[in-house]
Amino acid sequence: QVQFVESGGGLVQPGGSLRLSCAASGSIFRLLAMGWYRQAPGKERELVANIFVDGRTNYADSVKGRFTISRDNAKITVYLQMNSLKPDDTAVYYCKAINLRGGSWGQGTQVTVSS
């Protein structure tokens, strides 16, 4: 089962940028997609962006045009470039590997957007 080490979170001012990284180790059977999800206190965990095995991507409407998901297959790492950050982006961000049996979650990294 794949395991993740997430990094890149932190405190940033509105309008700033962060780049999240999720480095994988181990393996996952029949990988379908990798993605970033986020959860703010008192709210449900929500999709931020997915990247599928064929390279297609999708984004939550709230982040379109601001966030970009990408991957480095050689390093088995998925990234989330986050630009024009807003206070509403504040959440714990989780990396996920998805297969037919569900998936595996990273430990989460805190992103706080505040003046």
pLDDT tens across 55-98, in order? 999 999 999 999 999 998 777 789 999 999 999 999 999 999 99
CA distance 25 to 92: 21
Q: Which pLDDT belongs to residue 108?
A: 96
Q: Which pLDDT belongs to residue 109?
A: 97
pLDDT in tens, 54-67: 999 999 999 999 99
Q: Which pLDDT belongs to residue 112?
A: 98
79 with 69: CB under 8 angstroms?
yes
- Provide the residue count of the chain: 115
Q: Which pLDDT belongs to residue 86?
A: 98
Half-sphere exposure of 25 (CA within 13 A, CB side): 4
Over residues 96-110, mean pLDDT: 91
Q: Which pLDDT belongs to residue 73?
A: 73
